[in-house]
Amino acid sequence: MNGLRMRFEAGELSFREVFEVSSNARRSTKIIDLEIYYHDQVGYGQASFPPYMVENREKNLEFLSNLDISRLAYPFRFAEIHQYLDKVSPVHRPAKAAVDMALHDLAGKLTGQTVSNYLMLEPKAPLFSSFTIGIGSDEFLLRQLDKAGEFPFLKIKLGAVSDYNRHAIDLIRRHSNLPLGVDFNQGLQDRETAIRMVEWLSGKGVEYIEQPMPVASEDDYLWLKSRSPMDIIGDESIQTPQDIINKKELFHGVNIKLMKCGGIYRAHESVRLARQLGLKTMLGCMVESTCAITAAAHLGALFDRLDLDGSLNIADDPYTGMRLEHGRIIMPGGAGTGVRKAG
């Protein structure tokens, strides 16, 4: 035996407010909480399952049940661990992310370092996150603008309805001159609609557009990228490091998330690869608890943009860790990720 023990359970995170994007509106998200124990230390991890992901929570639970914990021996050799995880299943990346972040948490605690120090990634300057505003009524948009307070950057969710898109941006522009990004979550269905919207948004202080069209529209992305006056960022199109290689010509940049790629190790690999290929980089998240957000934030110094506000809409966050003060990322300190159970 290697002294490691793992426990995990399914759960659900309730939201403070409905979160609506182009494909769905929801009040909660399914999760898996995971803990890995080694002697007197525990590492925390979490998997999140928003509806637009193809991942199924029950299948991810089954994947975790099939793992041979003895293959995760300390000291952790993360390349070998991920080779083993991928051999068990080529998918189930949210569960892999939970295992990976728990092991990184343990690695930091066992060596007396923060995860960012363990990875030699201590930021040289303060890091800031954008504030995300979902789709909703005028009252909702204005309420969210008020919550954004002194965040330095806004990310606005838009969708398939052009009238709503224009109205929402005009409303926000009447009340805020902050720089904007917009995220369509695949809401625009053809290149002509997309280029008209891109050209209109370019006059509204929008700096980038995220995943405007469906993942399958690769020819349309090539066409749009060559004509766009602003950066086109791939999100749903970019899951793994191999996707970055295969789709590098479609986008100006990529949004990397632990839940999509399989954790800290794969995200670190992905951002290095993207930078080598000359792509701009964003570190993003799902609507997740502070557990997963904090784990991701340890990689923040490597990215051009950070979008790590996903825990702000959690009604009763079961963890403490990273927090945001006027958009500035304040890390919790302490060894490992710094995540602790709340209460």
Question: Which residues are marked as active site?
Answer: 157, 183, 210, 235, 257
Buried b (16+ CB within 10 A) or exposed e, 154-191: bbbbbbeeeeebeebbeebeeeeebebbbbbbbbbeeb
Amino acid making up residue 157: K
For residue 206, list its beta bridge partners: 180
Round to whole Å and give the CA distance between 67 and 187.
37
Which one, of 60, 61, 102, lies nearest residue 81 by Cα? 102
Run of H or E including 163: helix 162-175
Round to whole Å and give the CA distance between 230 and 251.
11
Those residues with Cβ within 8 angstroms of residue 250's Cβ, 6 or more apart along the chain or in another chain: 218, 221, 222, 225, 232, 234, 237
* Per-residue CA distances from 144 to 23, 127, 140, 164, 328 (Å): 20, 22, 6, 17, 18
Could you tell me whether strands 305-306 and 280-283 are parallel, antiparallel, or unpaired per DSSP bridges? parallel
CB-count exposure of residue 218 (10 Å: 0-12, 13-18, 19+): middle
Round to whole Å and give the CA distance between 162 and 248.
28
Round to whole Å and give the CA distance between 251 and 144.
29
Which one, of 196, 204, 247, lies nearest residue 224 by Cα? 196
SS3 of residue 120 by DSSP: coil
Chain-centroid distance of CA 214 in Å reads 19
